[in-house]
Amino acid sequence: MSNAGDLSGRFIVVGVSGGIAAYKAVEVCRQLVDAGAHVAPIMTPDAERFIGKTTLSALCSEPVHTSLWDDASPIPHTRLGQRADLIVVAPATARVIAAYAAGMSDDLLTATLIATVAPVVVCPAMHTEMWEHPAVQHNISTLRSRGVHIVDPEDGRLAGGDIGRGRLAAPESIVAAVRRVLAPTQSKLAGRHVVVSAGGTREPIDAVRVIANRSSGKQGHAIAVEASRRGASVTLVTTADFTPVSGVRVVCVETAAEMKSAIDAAATSADVVIMTAAVADFRPVPIAEGKWKKEDGVPPIVLEPTPDILAGLGAAKRPGQVLVGFAAETSNLVENAKGKLARKNLDIVVANDVSQPKVGFGHDTNAVTIVTKSATHNVPLADKHTVAAHVLDSVEQSLHPTQEHP
């Protein structure tokens, strides 16, 4: 099937930074122009060491922009940032990725990235050692958590003859990602209210000490970002720091009791509730008003059960509401998940085997089994944003079509 003209009327800024893969940006621009888009190219000063300005100017819909200062319009970054329907950065070097993640605007490309509210697609390209450096991975993860789309680099031949991960994705893959991001949202979540809990609760022992757990909140935050990207209005009830994202209302809590009252309040209008949080099952009975002193001896800590938030929601579930629970297990994953599904009156249980490497608490990656009443679906080890997309695909399948908004 031909895609000719399917991007007509779209204003796309293509940012090219200084890597050997800059030559592939020429092909990306050409394919976008062929699809009918208006393509405005930006080059960083180092990109000019790899390809000529004339090439991009000749192929694109307007001459290449290179500087904050010598453009015909006095503030090119805001003009380009505001007009853009989408910005794609290909190739994105470690420097551009770091500047964007840190909010630094030291050239026209990074200034434009910070001056836009349009969706952004970042296509990294660099040597394997650089791609795998913790600083680069941290910056990529920061960008993902803000809703930036990343087109992962591929394995293959790199500059200087080395072979490994880091090669810019093929122009066809980059253009396909642009099309996916610009496609009108077909999501059943558009216009719905999705409530997500995240993080581990902290239950006070006295005024300074708590009982906590190892949950980082990363999986819940990734689900909130993805739900917002699909057009849902999201309430995120979290115990962990969360970088603000448009479309996500954040309620910060600490204890299971605070989480329960925030979730219960939000759930009255929720179409979907996803309890990703690791809620304490037990909390200490208060032992002191202030701090329990060392001189007072070993504290007499007695635990009492916390309310099960999700079971409460399950008991009061409205027709059409979808409830999702998480289950951190170390054995009998599917069997335990099915038990939880029935016991708490849930629609979906997302089970992870936290005894496996790189799975669950604290990691940027996860591997899960999604269990519904009628099916189980394995999601192999992937970053938590990919896992979030699978969980929400499953939620969309559970949303009853008759409940759809117009």
**Minimum CB distance to ligand C5P, residue 8 (Å):** 45
Which residue in 326, 333, 387, 395 binds ligand C5P (CB under 6 A)? 326
To ligand C5P, the closest distance from the beta carbon of 312 in angstroms equals 8
Pairing verdict, β 376-383 and 365-372: antiparallel
Between 147 and 325, CB nearer to ligand C5P: 325
Report the helix count and the strand count for the chain, using DSSP H and E.
Answer: 13, 19
Binds ligand C5P by CB under 6 A, chosen from 15, 19, 91, 325: 325
Contacts of residue 228, Cβ cutoff 8 Å, sequence gap at least 6: 147, 234, 245, 246, 247, 248
Q: Which of 149, 340, 384, 390 binds ligand C5P (CB under 6 A)?
A: 340
Which is it for strands 348-353 and 365-372: parallel, antiparallel or unpaired? antiparallel
* Contact with ligand C5P (CB under 6 A) among 109, 196, 327, 395: 327
Regarding 16 and contact with ligand C5P (CB under 6 A), the answer is: no
Contact mark string toward ligand C5P, 233..262, x via CB under 6 A: -----------------------x------
Q: Which of 154, 241, 281, 335 binds ligand C5P (CB under 6 A)?
A: 281
Q: Which range binds ligand C5P by CB under 6 A, 287-295, 304-312, 353-361, 392-400?
A: 304-312
- DSSP reduced 3-state for 261: helix
Distances in Å between the Cα of 54 and the Cα atoms of 11, 60, 107, 385 are: 20, 10, 20, 39
**DSSP per-residue string spanning 14-43:** EEE-SSTTHHHHHHHHHHHHHTT-EEEEEE
Residue 275 binds ligand C5P (CB under 6 A) = yes
The Cβ-side half-sphere exposure at 313, using a 13 Å CA radius, reads 28
Name the nearest CA neighbour of 61 among 41, 44, 47.
41
User: Of the candidates 200, 239, 202, 209, which has an alpha carbon nearest to the alpha carbon of residue 301?
Assistant: 209
Residues in contact with ligand C5P, total (CB under 6 A)?
14
Nearest-approach distance from CB 346 to ligand C5P, in angstroms:
8
> Out of 47, 310, 351, 387, which residue is the one contacting ligand C5P (CB under 6 A)?
310
Question: Residue from 85, 226, 271, 308 that binds ligand C5P (CB under 6 A)?
Answer: 308
CA distance 263 to 173: 40
Active centre residues (catalytic): 213
Question: Whole-angstrom Cα distance, residue 1 to residue 239?
Answer: 48
Binding of ligand C5P by 371 (CB under 6 A): no
Ranges within 146-205 binding ligand C5P (CB under 6 A): 197
Nearer to ligand C5P, 111 or 323 (CB): 323
